Amino acid sequence: NLTAESHRIPLSDGNSIPLLGLGTYADPQKTPKGSCLEAVKIAIDAGYRHIDGAFVYYNEHEVGQAIREKIAEGKIKREDIFYCGKLWNTCHPPELVRPTLEKTLKILQLDYVDLYIIELPMAFKPGDALYPKDENGKFIYHETDLCATWEAMEACKDAGLAKSIGVSNFNRRQLEMIMNKPGLKYKPVSNQVECHPYFTQPKLLEFCRQHDIVIVGYSPLGTSRDESWVNVSSPPLLKDPVLNTIGKKYNKTAAQIALRFNVQRGVVVIPKSFNPQRIRENFQIFDFSLTEKEMKEIEALNKNVRYVELLM
């Protein structure tokens, strides 16, 4: 019974998260300035209330501006919006966590984020370089204690700078490490990972369900297929015959079927589009439902191959 108005699911800390959000990662070299600003405003007008962003996407200032403009217009109130920000790899040492979130809030010009997540479980050397490399072009990693990073995340929630805290790209072992931490105050409410019909995450999804951790599925449409960071040897998701055939039945696109599949099984989706028509299209997934047989057919498309290999 998902409707556009009621498309939120509860988080373990008492807050809730909209099942559909707008992803905002676009290659800064190839994307005209202001595209993200326009996209977020169009999305809010179309009904989106959840925006997924990050400091490392280089457009967080545009996201903040769009949200503030829509509030000033009277279209929304701050509390209607759910913004997720991310702690980058160079900022894992516990003493850097709060200042990093404060920097994000300054860029956004907002008082709090709704969700703050550790973007990746491994750390890079702290400093100005976001992708620090040695003279041989190898990434410079940094010894950190994820549990200490998590305690600093908990302090951000206590300080009211983040309403909820979670993680991203964590596997079961890494989640368990946090959840078994002595003196744990808040467990991660969510884990943002790649998730779509070709990478359905059956085991992680089951584990997270058991522990009341919401899966937020990134690259839910199979990415932009940018060869600089995407494994394009896996076929394009949206060309899949099963998704297209099911789409015809409901007068929906393969993209809408892929998104509906995830939200119908309780997985939050954050498709990225900066195109007005596709932003609206991706929101039109609450006026139909897939049958149990169709859900099974789509589940069977799983190839267990990631588009986003994150080789670093």
Residue numbers belonging to the annotated binding site for substrate:
142
Cβ atoms 308, 230 nearer than 8 A: yes
Find the shortest distance in angstroms from Cβ 280 to ligand NAP.
Answer: 9
Concatenate the DSSP letters of all residues of 164-222 into one string: EEEEES--HHHHHHHHT-TT--S--SEEEEE-BTTB--HHHHHHHHHTT-EEEEESTT-
Nearer to ligand NAP, 23 or 126 (CB): 23
Asked if 219 and 308 count as a contact pair (C-beta separation under 8 A), the reply is yes
Alpha-carbon Rg for the chain, nearest whole angstrom, is 19
Maximum alpha-carbon separation in the chain: 56
Q: What angle do CA 289, 295, 298 make, to 5 degrees?
A: 125
Give, for 126, the enclosing helix (H) or strand (E). Answer: none
Kindly list the residues in this chain that would bind ligand NAP in the complex (CB under 6 A).
23-25, 52, 119, 168-169, 192, 218-224, 238, 253, 255, 270-275, 278, 281-282, 308
Q: Which residue is nearest to ligand NAP (CB)?
A: 23
> Would you say 88 and 56 are in contact if contact means Cβ atoms under 8 Å apart?
yes
Nearer CB in complex with ligand NAP: 67/255: 255
Angle at 275 between CA 273 and CA 278, to 5 degrees: 70
Q: What is the DSSP string of 59-70?
A: -HHHHHHHHHHH
Kindly state the smallest distance separating residue 72's Cβ from ligand NAP, in Å: 25
Extract the annotated binding site.
142
Q: Residue 294 CB, nearest distance to ligand NAP (Å)?
A: 19
In 3D, which of 267, 308, 277, 299 has the Cα closest to residue 21?
A: 267
Report the nearest approach of ligand NAP to the CB of residue 110 (Å): 17
Cβ-based nearer residue to ligand NAP, 65 or 273: 273
Q: Quick one: 65 or 219, whose CB is closer to ligand NAP?
A: 219
How buried is 230 (Cβ within 10 angstroms: 0-12 exposed, 13-18 middle, 19+ buried)?
Answer: middle
- Yes or no: say if 49 and 55 are a contact pair by the CB < 8 Å rule: no
For residue 193, the minimal CB distance to ligand NAP (Å) is 8
Q: What is the set of active-site residues?
A: 57
Q: Which residue's CB is nearer to ligand NAP, number 126 or number 217?
A: 217
